[in-house]
Structure 1
Amino acid sequence: MSKTRKVDPRIIRTRHLLRDALVSLIDESGYDSITVQDITDRATINRATFYLHYRDKHDLLISSTDDILHELITNLDMTSTPVVSFVDLEEPPPSFVGMFAQIAKHADFYRVMLAKHHMPYFVARLQEVLAGFIQEGMSSVLAKENALTVPKEMVIRYTASAFLGVVIWWLENDMSYSPKYMASNLLRMATKGPYANDPF
Structure 2
Amino acid sequence: MPKVDRRILKTEEALKTAVIELMAEKNFDDITIQELAYHANVSRGTIYLHYMDKYDLLDKLMETHIHELRERCEASADLDFVTGFVIWTDYFDRNYAFFSTMLASKGAPFFRSRFIKFLIEEFQDEVDNTRGKNEGLHKDLAVQFLASSYAAVVEWWFTNEKPVPHQVLAEQLGALLERICD
Separation in structure 2 between the aligned mates of residue 58 and residue 108 of structure 1, nearest angstrom: 19
SS across alignment from 1:160:
helix
CA distance in 2, matches of 1:47, 1:191: 50
TM-score norm. by structure 2 comes to 0.88
What 5-or-longer segments of structure 2 have no aligned partner? Answer: none
- Which of the pair has more CA radius of gyration? 1
**TM-score, normalised by the number of residues in structure 1:** 0.80
Contact 1:27 1:117 in 2 (8 A): no
Give yes or no for the alignment of 1:149 onto 2:136: yes
Do 1:27 and 1:112's aligned partners in 2 also have CA atoms closer than 8 Å?
A: yes
Between Structure 1 and Structure 2, the one with more helix by share is 2
Query: Sequence identity of aligned pairs in percent?
Result: 29
- Any idea what the Cα deviations from partners look like across 1:145-170, whole Å, max 9, x if unmatched? 32223111111100100000100111
Distance in 2 between residues matched to 1:10 and 1:136, nearest whole Å: 42
- Counterpart-to-counterpart distance in 2, 1:51 and 1:64: 15
Q: Superposition pairs for residues 1-200 of structure 1, below 5 Å?
A: 4-77=1-74, 81-82=77-78, 85=80, 92-93=82-83, 95-117=84-106, 119-138=108-127, 142=128, 145-147=129-131, 148-192=135-179
Q: Where has structure 1 moved over 6 Å in runs of 4 or more?
A: none
After superposition, the C-alpha distances for 1:116-148 in whole angstroms (9 at most, x for unaligned) are 11523211111111112212334xxx4xx3222
RMSD in angstroms over aligned alpha carbons? 1.9
